[in-house]
Amino acid sequence: MKTRDLSELAVRNLREAVLRNSLTTLGVAVGVASLVAMLSLGVGLQTLASQRLTRSGLFDAVFVTSQRNFRGPRQPTPAGSTAKREARALDEDVRQQLSKLSNVTEVYPQIRFITDVRYAGKSEATSVLGLPDSSRSSGAFEGMTGAYFSSPTADEAILQIEFAKLLTDQPPSLVGRDLTLRYAERGALSKDADDEALLDSMMGTGKPGGISIVPRETTLRIVGITESDPSAGIGGFGGARVYLPLKTAEQLHVAQPDDVQAFLSGNPAKPSYMALTVRVRSPKDVPQVEAAIKQLGFVTFSLLDAAKSLRLVFTVFDLFLGLFGSLALTVASLGIINTLVMAILERRREIGILKALGATDRDVRSLFFAEAGAMGLFGGVFGVALGWLIGSALTWGTTIYLHRQNLPGVKISYVPWWLALCAIGFAIIVSLIAGLYPASRAARLNPVEALRYD
Amino acid sequence: MPTASMLIQAESVSREYRLGETVIRAIDAVSLAVEQGEFLALLGSSGSGKSTLLSMMAGLDRPTSGAIRVRARNLAELTADELARYRRETVGMVFQSFNLLPRMTLEENVELPLRLAEVDRNDRQSRVGEALERVGLAARRRHRPSELSGGEQQRGALARALVNRPAILFADEPTGNLDSVNGEQILLLLREIQDSLGMTIIMVTHERPLAERFANRIAQLSDGRLVSDGAQR
């Protein structure tokens, strides 16, 4: 029998026992819905976690330190490598070189220093960190009081709330106020003959001049108070309590620990950075960029392995959710078997007539298969819609709950197109498997006995 | 000895059924030959084995022993698919209880063998119309079987049996569920089809007067054996 005729007959047969077949199809739909709802929750949570982690800048970043930097995170250097021999400093040239590597979107230095903050007669020592403009999209500043820096070079500051509490009892009132930073500025040593002679006597003749450390003050406008500690750890915002735009921080020329090292190595005119953060296009580009940086002779560190572990955890999580979701579909498949076996008993005579008219065993089998497949298809489509609704309801409920807790809403359920297609395909396959036994039983019916059946 | 006009030849055909330890021999070494264009009536009382013999000749059942040859092909040696093809292309069947599918309209019932034979959709419509025209039911094509009288249902079943233009028409007690008037109409129709199309008809009946009136030849069975076989006219 042609496929079109087979489909027409199958749909006609399903329509005839509409209540029973609808209930069976509904069973499949509920099974698929439970599967889709479970997996959409898994996918949604994974997407949410990935987005948050990506926005945190930890998984698409490579942290670079110099071979001679003993403070930063290090990896063992292969014996006899070029890097070890050269031990280059992380200066502006290197920064430019790294920014030209493929798939690198941004390279910025870690500008971090200890400062004395003065506000309304109070003086507090704390740590300051320069933030690149890309931190604006970091989830760390979501829900902050005030706003992010108005421009990458603004004389503005964002305070961590715990630090703000040290300055006033009403931290939000600080927004719009000015504070004063006292810091140590690094400058070139003045060309004084006596100083040159002193240096020569200390360091040996022929070494270039030294550096000067001068106390300075600058006034910054407080634009935001962040409740969360954006300190994400390794090489990130870690530990600072006052944040400035990175360019503003750079323009202050604050003395860095490496300045002393540069001075001792004899090149004080060319400041170097403690560490550079290299942002890449996507987390998958991290290994390639990391390898390229290592080739240049620097020490790198990334959280790629942690990201891999996270993916593994979510894969196992999805597997379990899928297994629980599949249980309902398995129960539904028993419903299909039951419905079709009942249909064979009821339609025994019809099967006999079809065979008497020349239907092959294959025609009869295909007809029952088509009916099972149609129930799977309709159940699958309806189930995906139902699963999506359940997922949306979960997201809706969660968002309401989070809003009541003064937290931003999140989308915890997500039905990607591949999940919808796979769920429908899975429903059809399960239905066809469920139809195997009834269909082969119907095909095996002896036409003479079937025609005798009343 | 088979002749050129020989269509069906049953050679020492037996059919046994097992009921636990008991073996029931429904057909016992029956040999019978049917020629092209014959109207053969298989006559016998209930349980004589006439319907069993008809089922085997129609390719619905297989003999336990012996051979049934149709155009020299032994049905017992055909595969299940080949037998289905034989039923589809060579055979038309009419049953006592009409056996129209209640969910389908009359024209859909008549179209069913054409669907199974994968006949083109456009051809189907004309052939269904032709078959219904022949049995006088063209006006009732959209009715369901439950909306038709017994006689109309049997005529509809006849149209379904004819739509594939079979060489042999098997009728199993076609008048068994009809009153005498409708029964006679059906047999008149069968006779007319035999005359106009040259079709071979094998009919099972237990009504000797009808068999004598319409069939060319009567073969009588009793307890699974062929007890008489003779031409009527």
The overall average pLDDT reported for chain B is 90
What pLDDT is stored for residue B5 in this prediction?
Answer: 74
A14 to chain B nearest CA, in Å? Answer: 11
A73-82, A171-180, A293-302, B61-70 — which is least confidently predicted?
A: A73-82
Q: What is the mean pLDDT of residues A247-252?
A: 87
| Beta strands A112-119; A178-188: pairing state | antiparallel
Q: What is the three-state SS of chain A?
A: CCHHHHHHHHHHHHHHCHHHHHHHHHHHHHHHHHHHHHHHHHHHHHHHHHHHHHHHCCCCEEEEECCCCCCCCCCCCCCCCHHHHHCCCCEHHHHHHHHCCCCEEEEEECCEEEEEEEECCEEEEEEEEEECHHHHHCHHHCCCEECCCCCCCCCEEEEEHHHHHHHCCCHHHHCCCEEEEEEEEEEECCCCHHHHHHHHHHHCCCCCCCEEEEEEEEEEEEEEEECCCCCCCCCCCCCCCEEEEHHHHHHCCECCHHHHHHHHHCCCCCCECCEEEEEECCHHHHHHHHHHHHHCCCEEECCHHHHHHHHHHHHHHHHHHHHHHHHHHHHHHHHHHHHHHHHHHHCHHHHHHHHHCCCCHHHHHHHHHHHHHHHHHHHHHHHHHHHHHHHHHHHHHHHHHHHHCCCCCCCCCCCCHHHHHHHHHHHHHHHHHHHHHHHHHHHHCCHHHHHHCC
Concatenating the DSSP letter of every residue in B5-62 gives: TEEEEEEEEEEEEEETTEEEEEEEEEEEEEETT-EEEEE--TTSSHHHHHHHHTTSS-
Task: Please check whether residue A409 lies inside any domain of the structure.
Answer: yes
Task: Please check whether residue A264 lies inside any domain of the structure.
Answer: no
Q: A1 in contact with B at a CB cutoff of 8 Å?
A: yes
> How far is it, in rounded angstroms, from Cα A295 to Cα A74?
15
Same domain for A124 and A105, yes or no, is: no
Q: What percent of chain B has pLDDT over 90?
A: 67
What pLDDT is stored for residue A386 in this prediction?
Answer: 93
The SS3 assignment for B101 reads coil
Cβ contacts of B62 on chain A, cutoff 8 Å: none
Nearest Cα residue to A33 out of A393, A401, A410 = A393
**Which of the two residues, B173 and A310, has the higher pLDDT score?**
B173
Task: Please check whether residue A254 lies inside any domain of the structure.
Answer: no
* B102 to chain A: closest CA residue: A350
What pLDDT is stored for residue A71 in this prediction?
Answer: 47
Same domain for A90 and A169, yes or no, is: no
Same domain for A106 and A176, yes or no, is: no
Q: Tell me the pLDDT tens digit for each residue of A208-221.
A: 556 677 888 889 99
Of A2, A353, A451, the CB nearest to B118: A2
What pLDDT is stored for residue B232 in this prediction?
Answer: 56
* Burial status of residue A96 (CB atoms within 10 A of its CB: 0-12, 13-18, 19 or more): exposed
Residue ranges covered by each domain of chain B: 36-60+83-231
Contact criterion met (CB < 8 Å) for A2 and B113: no
Same domain for A444 and A315, yes or no, is: yes
The overall average pLDDT reported for chain A is 80
Q: What is the mean pLDDT of residues B3-18?
A: 86
Same domain for A216 and A291, yes or no, is: no
Taken in order A261, A265, A266, A271, the sign of the CA dihedral is negative
**Which of the two residues, A238 and A64, has the higher pLDDT score?**
A64
Q: Tell me the pLDDT tens digit for each residue of A59-107.
A: 778 888 887 644 444 445 444 444 444 567 788 888 888 889 988 888 8
**Is residue A205 pLDDT above 60, yes or no?**
no
The residues near A164 (Cβ < 8 Å, ≥ 6 apart) are A171, A174, A225
Q: In what order do the strands lie in the sheet with A299-301?
A: A104-109, A275-280, A61-65, A299-301
B233 to chain A nearest CA, in Å? Answer: 31
A199-213, A383-397, B137-151 — which is least confidently predicted?
A: A199-213
Same domain for A124 and A239, yes or no, is: yes
The residues near A273 (Cβ < 8 Å, ≥ 6 apart) are A90, A91, A95, A109, A110, A111, A256, A258
What pLDDT is stored for residue A84 in this prediction?
Answer: 47
What pLDDT is stored for residue A273 in this prediction?
Answer: 80
**Which of the two residues, A306 and B49, has the higher pLDDT score?**
B49
pLDDT tier, B87 (very low <50, low <70, confident <90, very high otherwise): very high
The SS3 assignment for B163 reads coil
> How far is it, in rounded angstroms, from Cα B37 to Cα B199?
5
Task: Please check whether residue A263 lies inside any domain of the structure.
Answer: no
What value of ipTM does the predicted structure carry? 0.92
Contact criterion met (CB < 8 Å) for A358 and B115: no
Same domain for A126 and A205, yes or no, is: yes
Contact A57, A260 (CB under 8 A): no
**Is residue B91 pLDDT above 60, yes or no?**
yes
Contact A195, A189 (CB under 8 A): yes
What pLDDT is stored for residue A444 in this prediction?
Answer: 86
Same domain for A229 and A127, yes or no, is: yes
pTM of the predicted structure, to 2 decimals: 0.65
What pLDDT is stored for residue A82 in this prediction?
Answer: 46
Show which of A222, A243, A264 is a domain's final residue: A243
Radius of gyration of chain B (CA): 17
Q: A250 in contact with B at a CB cutoff of 8 Å?
A: no
**Is residue A268 pLDDT above 70, yes or no?**
no
Q: How many domains does chain A have?
A: 3
Contact criterion met (CB < 8 Å) for A353 and B101: yes
Q: Which residues in chain A (339-368) have CB-CB distances under 8 A to chain B?
A: 349-350, 352-363
Q: Which residues in chain A (265-324) have CB-CB distances under 8 A to chain B?
A: none
Of A1, A356, A358, the CB nearest to B85: A358
Same domain for A100 and A119, yes or no, is: no
Same domain for A140 and A200, yes or no, is: yes
Cβ contacts of A446 on chain B, cutoff 8 Å: 61
Q: Tell me the pLDDT tens digit for each residue of A344-372.
A: 777 888 888 999 999 999 999 999 888 88
What pLDDT is stored for residue A266 in this prediction?
Answer: 60
**Is residue A261 pLDDT above 50, yes or no?**
yes
Cβ contacts of B89 on chain A, cutoff 8 Å: 358
Q: Tell me the pLDDT tens digit for each residue of A134-167.
A: 887 766 677 788 888 888 888 999 988 888 888 8
> How far is it, in rounded angstroms, from Cα A240 to Cα A255?
17
pLDDT tier, A222 (very low <50, low <70, confident <90, very high otherwise): very high
* Containing structural domain, residue A202: 114-243
Other beta carbons within 10 Å of A49: 14
Q: Tell me the pLDDT tens digit for each residue of B137-166.
A: 999 999 999 999 999 999 999 999 999 889
Task: Please check whether residue A135 lies inside any domain of the structure.
Answer: yes
**Is residue A234 pLDDT above 70, yes or no?**
no
Task: Please check whether residue A289 lies inside any domain of the structure.
Answer: yes
What pLDDT is stored for residue A72 in this prediction?
Answer: 46
Other beta carbons within 10 Å of A337: 18
- Here the tokens at position A389 are 């609704």
pLDDT tier, A423 (very low <50, low <70, confident <90, very high otherwise): confident
Contact A93, A85 (CB under 8 A): no
- Here the tokens at position A156 are 């503005």
* Burial status of residue B14 (CB atoms within 10 A of its CB: 0-12, 13-18, 19 or more): middle
Of B58, B84, B103, the CB nearest to A359: B84
A89-98, B9-18, B61-70 — which is least confidently predicted?
A: A89-98
Q: What is the mean pLDDT of residues B45-63?
A: 92
Q: Tell me the pLDDT tens digit for each residue of A301-325.
A: 887 766 677 777 877 877 887 787 7
What pLDDT is stored for residue B58 in this prediction?
Answer: 94
Same domain for A30 and A141, yes or no, is: no
Contact criterion met (CB < 8 Å) for A361 and B81: yes
Same domain for A41 and A106, yes or no, is: no
Q: So what's the architecture of B36-60+83-231 in CATH?
A: 3-Layer(aba) Sandwich (3.40)
Q: What is the mean pLDDT of residues A118-132?
A: 87
